[in-house]
Amino acid sequence: MRFSRNATGTVFVGGALSLTLVALAYPAMLGLDKVSTAQDRVIAQTQWGPLTEQDRDFVVKVRAAGLWEYPLGFSGVKNGTTEEVKEAGRHLIDGHAALDAACRKIAPMLNITLPNVASPQQVAFVNQINSSTGREFDSNFANILRITHGSIFNTIAKIRSTTKNSLVRSLADMANNTVLDHITVMEKTGFVNFDQALFQQTTPPKLPDSDLTPPAPQPGEPMVVLSPPANPTSTPIAIPGEQPNGNPAANPSPSPTTG
């Protein structure tokens, strides 16, 4: 992976990955299966509405998704054997750069700490895809990403329909559009095995939380930023009360208080 750092210490990520072979990995909802059973305990009262544990988990997991899918976008562009796979890679880069910017924008507003690396399970997905070549790469790329995007799709809908926090709703709107786009471009590659994908999507193995949870950043660690492509097409997140130029509205309410 290629890293660059700006004057503020922020780390920007780009380029392709070259990683080692791992055993076959089955997506397990990326840790977001917790949403169906997570407590809806309010952890903070904010000017955008109450923030629950599952709201916070959603923001963290959207960020973590980009930390492994964004670099795989570069792998798809570089290693895909068809134009459809390369185009799917470009969509991953564009979509997750925009979602990453949204997460980094709202996280401090909601007092949420974001990870800088993906979960162990997600790293295993990257390893498996990048250890393959040719048509095997195309198949692993399309199927694993179709399964993981399909598994998160229903979770996004649940968050969108239940959260009382307007910032989380805005992120869910954006994530819904992005994930649907990524599902679509993976299917257009022609490599998706739907029987296998739907089976693994709906019957994931039970993995320990440590495999599904991205580690917290170290104190003082610079924030990793997924830089957008030269000509991004994704629409930036709409922040309630924000002016069109991106500046906050006049007389903003106080910052959230943690409960």
241 falls within a domain: no
pLDDT string in tens for the chain (259-residue length): 444 444 434 444 443 333 322 323 333 334 444 444 446 889 999 999 999 999 999 999 999 999 999 999 999 999 999 999 999 999 999 999 999 999 999 999 999 999 999 999 999 999 999 999 999 999 999 999 999 999 899 889 999 999 999 999 999 999 999 999 999 999 999 999 999 888 888 877 677 887 888 988 888 899 999 999 999 998 888 777 775 555 544 444 444 444 4
194 falls within a domain: yes
28 falls within a domain: no
Question: Residue 213 sits in which domain range?
Answer: 2-13+47-229
Domains: count for the chain: 1
**What residues pair up with 225 in beta bridges, in sequence order?**
12
Name the pTM for this structure.
0.79
33 falls within a domain: no
217 falls within a domain: yes
CATH of the domain at 209: 1.20.1260.10
89 falls within a domain: yes
Any idea what the Cα angle at residue 251 is, between residues 248 and 257, rounded to 5°?
Answer: 85
Any idea what the Cα angle at residue 64 is, between residues 2 and 170, rounded to 5°?
Answer: 120
Q: Which two structure tokens, joined as six digits, stand for 156?
A: 């996004």
Best CA proximity match to 208, nearest among 120, 129, 144, 147: 120
239 falls within a domain: no
21 falls within a domain: no
